[in-house]
A and B are shown apart, each in its own frame.
Chain A
Amino acid sequence: MRIISACLAVLLLLGPGGVFTGPAAAVEVDEILDDPALEARARDLSKELRCLVCRNESIDESNADLARDLRILVRERLVAGDTDDEVIAYLVDRYGDYVLLKPRIGGGNLILWLAAPALLLAGGGIAFVFIRRRAPAFRAEEELSADEEERLAELLKQ
């Protein structure tokens, strides 16, 4: 881990950093479930769960031991018949919200989820008012049509 954090310190400014765990291994052959439908669900779930000891990696991408344990745990729960939501609830009970790469919609996280739509509405409103204020004074008859303008541009070029 010390090596990895040292690398990180160096790499931080250099672009897509943060995903450095030596050889990529992630899902091992022996972890894969026989039932392809269950396995597909396990993969989808794994992509939404954080490897808790890594930097911004899902357990699907990480080769850390903990990520492997969690992948196996997810598969055990699925084999035991849990729904996707039950698996996630099980993990959140144990590790807290930190394990979710997609924060739950609700509570304080509403700010996170609604900030952009709110800005879109507010900005859209301001833009609309701005454009509207420019429009009424617009005098159509003073302007040339597109074709006329094009001809004018042609003439000016010569």
Chain B
Amino acid sequence: MIAEFGHFALILALGVALVQAAIPLVGAQRGWSNWMAVAAPSAVVQCGLLLAAFLALTWSFVTSDFSVQLVAMNSHSAKPMLYKITGVWGNHEGSMLLWVLILALFGATVGLWGGALPPGLKARALSVQAMIGVAFLLFILFTSNPFLRLDTPPLDGNDLNPLLQDPGLAFHPPFLYLGYVGLSMAFSFAVAALIEGRVDAAWARWVRPWTLAAWMFLTIGIALGSWWAYYELGWGGWWFWDPVENASFMPWLIAAALLHSAIVVEKRDTLKSWTILLAIMAFSFSLIGTFIVRSGVITSVHAFANDPERGTFILAILAVAIGGSLMLFALRAGDLRSGAMFSTISRESGLVMNNLLLTVSTLVVFIGTIWPLLLEIATGNKVSVGPPFFNLAFTPFMVALAVILPPAAMLPWKRGQIGRVMQPLWGVLALSVALGALIWALQTGRSMLAPVGIALALWVVLGALTDIAQRVKLGRAGWRESLRRAGNLPRADWGKMVAHAGFGLTMFGISAITAWEVEDIRIVDTGQSFTVAGYELRFDGVEAVQGPNYSAEIGSFTLLDGKREPVLRPEKRFYPVQQMPTTEAAINYGITRDVYVVLGDSQGAGRWAVRTYIKPFANWIWAGSIVMALGGILSLTDRRYRIGHAAGRKLRGAAVPAE
């Protein structure tokens, strides 16, 4: 009954989405305000219906209703409650339902809080948003219906993949989707602006918050996934350049470019058509990612050919969305010229460089991801494109980005001078180079990765701090004056500093762990102590334990650090329903290093194979990502997004007293 209710709500949502796609658009073209007014309420209703459908599916999972096919295939009565709930999106059908729910959620936020938007833009954007919704609702109803019933329900379900029964991965998909799908809003605004033929500062001010939010969620989602891989997959790898990861990384890179170019549109009313193109590209990469992942085309061309229904459907959505929007762009981009002038050395130019590097690095990821597929289709040859390619081809662009970041971020709008911008940065530069040289001298004979990476990281972090120090005249004015200036700085400026510093921290973590990781593989007797890179560990034996839906062998290792002597307990688990073994590494987290222990196979007579890793500064990778996301939040709470909106720019100075 509940499942049928959800099914019905899903079909109704499709009906509402059809109305929302058609009526406001016609209204906007003809200038009928009552037709345009349909957009906001229908966006809210569509979201409500999809929420009902999603809750109905969640209910079926929570109550272990195995007459629902999806629940029977992906859940089990003995599974902990948390994973019954997160199991809703731990499968294709459920995750697509979450996808459209989030799509509608973003539409509803525009419907609810978009009061200050120009009515035409709002109606068109919500209409485009609903068109995407219609496409994906049809996809779900025709190829991936989560509410199908079984004639003869099984006694118990097939359980969820044990690797997914983990808090890190449980919350990874919702964040990732909030990011992926959040970019749909920027896309809808871009297409709406193209239909309308007008892009102005108000448009950019509306697109930026949604892009910021989407980018922030993507950052958190990618970081969660990477952290999960680090502790769950058993050897501390945190990025694999896997097609599925690349599918989330490409929209992230383009969204980062879009964030920056939208600032130029907002502040300087130029780079308009490029920003529109980026908005289209960002969501196109989300769609391409969905296609890559959902069709299985990357794993094997033959898998796609054998079960082409879903893949073909998404490919059709992809073709219409990307092809249609690009065609519209080609027709209308010419109208978007603007005359704002700026000099070769200016913030505008710096942001153009940022966009160029981010776009080119996206292309590296894109072509590397699809190359095996392209080559196989074209010539029949099979090649592999793996981490060694990506590391070599991608890193130079990130290095270039880090090199130009601090001065470019401090350049004034319109016209700047390199000399003046570099004046406060010379000290930072000298310090960073000195640190790099010191590291290089200390680790002679090893790669340049650590010295270069860490020098750049310091350069970026200190550069971000210098920017703020300059803005508040730290050291030049009195501290009271500096404090007052700090209070007056827009939140967006703080957000910029924090996000840039976060980028530097992540770079530092990546450089350190890549260059300095130590690995040790050995067989250890119960009671025996061993030393890895100066860390002494004692192996205290292995015990067998029964978990809720698995059995486990748990090892016990004491880290003999002379202080608290923490005990590390790595596990080998076996999930009988899925017939699947997993390893749970034990990690002693630290600011400067993680000690990472993995239990291998028993060698008999209390002897076990043991892998120990010392992972220097591992946590900085994800801490930096979270700092980046925090920068996004700070920027998102900037006053110009909270009040004023479209019309407020002129009024703001007069109407709102300084805080």
Contacts and interface: CB of A to CB of B under 8 A. Distances in A.
B521 A101 contact: no
Contacts of A124: 356
A13 B384 contact: no
Contacts of B221: 15
B388 A138 contact: no
A101 B233 contact: no
Contact-size category for A: 35 or more
Interface in A92-111: 96-103, 108-109, 111
Interface residues of B, number: 94
A23 B352 CA distance: 46
B572 A23 contact: yes
A158 B384 CA distance: 62
B299 A55 contact: yes
Interface in B340-386: 340-344, 348-349, 352-353, 356-357, 359-361, 363-364, 367-368, 371, 375, 378-379, 381-386
B540 interface: no
B637 interface: no
B245 A16 contact: yes
B90 interface: yes
B583 A23 contact: yes
Given A13-B293, A55-B299, A97-B381, A20 B233 contact: yes
Given A134-B270, A156-B653, A157-B488, A32 B290 contact: no
A23 B504 CA distance: 33
B169 A138 contact: no
B248 interface: yes
B161 to A, nearest CB: 5
B239 interface: yes
A79 interface: no
A97 B296 CA distance: 22
B498 to A, nearest CB: 22
A19 B299 CA distance: 12
Interface of A: 3, 6-20, 22-29, 32, 47-48, 50, 55-58, 61, 96-103, 108-109, 111-113, 115-116, 119-120, 123-124, 127, 130-132, 134-135, 137-138, 140, 143, 146, 149, 156-158
Interface of B: 74, 90-92, 95, 161, 163-164, 169, 172-173, 176, 221-222, 224-226, 228-229, 233-235, 237, 239-245, 248, 270, 290, 293-294, 296, 299, 340-344, 348-349, 352-353, 356-357, 359-361, 363-364, 367-368, 371, 375, 378-379, 381-389, 392-393, 397, 412, 414-416, 420, 488, 521-523, 572, 578-583, 598, 600-601, 609, 611, 653, 658
